[in-house]
A and B are shown apart, each in its own frame.
Chain A
């Protein structure tokens, strides 16, 4: 692969992201990772990685395949528990994270290979994303007591708003299993948003998409960030579009951090270029 093609700026490079004109200006660090190390048996997936995420920013983690990006994400929302290192949310140290706990802290995510609820419609999937917002007990639901009805209507409204936002009204009641790949990715984004997260982790949101789909997805990511002020942490393995939409980028290679900074800084980073050109270490 030719370095120039990787690093060239894509047509989408419209620097909408001048902090000045953002609805939610980038703020203090919301998430801090201190020298994280993760091992599977003998295999080192992540070694001594530290970086932070600022509130309202779009933070990208990039790196070639097998760089440990997904592991990083799984550490953040508690699917994996690192052997060393600490994660802190708003300066508060988190111990013994589980996905559920993460969800409760307002961390929501999408998956690299789509993990939608196949048997359910788009609407149901997105409403299911609001599990945390449903407090009515099964009895209240069974008997359709006021609280249950109210919550149901609320989450329906919230879901509809997201559906509108993502421009998927036409497939509202289609079972997700019948949707094309691109749309499924979008629905999954919708489900993640339904939880009204503070931090949204996107695991290769554009993987396997054609250029139009990618551009759509970029637009949604930016709009979400702009509209809800959601802090975004997204993974991509090809630098292309990511560079344009993210405020800051962490570059991983073989489980180590080899670069961190604004897209331009990263672009200029020799290690990064080597990594992407596959120069032998």
Chain B
């Protein structure tokens, strides 16, 4: 059973290796070299975030391969990647960043480490290295201001928009902002920079709406949350915005909530720690938990379905997921969309700098990324992602894009979408103002001159 399971994997590996070398040898000898564009993959496949890492980066890798197989690359440019294990450890991720920075004669175009601490660890370097930091829905929030952070992108939405959207959802449930006065909302967060990231926005809204905000930290790994939830019970909280990381913390939060009898449908999970894995860890008690999504799960989307068909169906064995049943899960789909962004950005870059069919460099890629535009329905349909992510476009000034989400409910086996349409902050302008103020403050402190943006 187990033993031969390993064996089988092992053998398939070796076999594949041999096959690959063979083909590699042939291809080099046979045809003239196809132009390549290289992407780094800073994955985390071991350690506490292994479930997330395998899902996200499985999705990324699958899409890159899919584009090669299905379309022969981007305008004939083959997509290749190098992977490096960060273990979600800032120090190791910096090593990975440096290691993957150059591959042969090509420099890497972007960095997408999928962890706020990891994004912070390199945010000071990307500009000088001409590398795009694509912190898709994580990382430093005020980097959404393109005037201060030309090289950092936070599509499709950042943490401040996310908390604002949650509060917006809550006030609608409660029946209006005026009903929010005197309500108690607990922000239960992992005790790290990432956990505190949304607080500036949340405090502001709490002040404006007059609800009572209680911040309760959980020390990682958070396998024991008795005292936190007892405080929540004591505070007679109406809602809990849970801002954790890792299935262990999520699962414990849910079971402990159940132990003190806190209704799960009053808990709203963060995107980062809000996937099937986190709900499964919570077991039966997880039913009714709310989770925010910026990319929708499921296989009903043509793209995901096609990827499954091309890479997995009838043992094609080209997929990167160790467990194929995870195709279509939250993390997987988010990974795919991240890669869609890479590829679309590359496509744009080739067009803008008329290098169609040729590799591009960091600066050109940055322009391409800034030109990401998902507002055209036809294009979304073409990509097979229509409805999977909000329609949005990036601009010189706005590196966030949509700032909208869907609310989902865990029905015990899968997520069901409860919001009719993509939903954002009740007052997006206010959030945007906060972001730009914070960014400008940073710019002043580090005497950065703002890039003047037409739009």
In the complex, A touching B (Cβ < 8 A): no
Residues of B within 8 A of A (CB): none
Residues of A within 8 A of B (CB): none
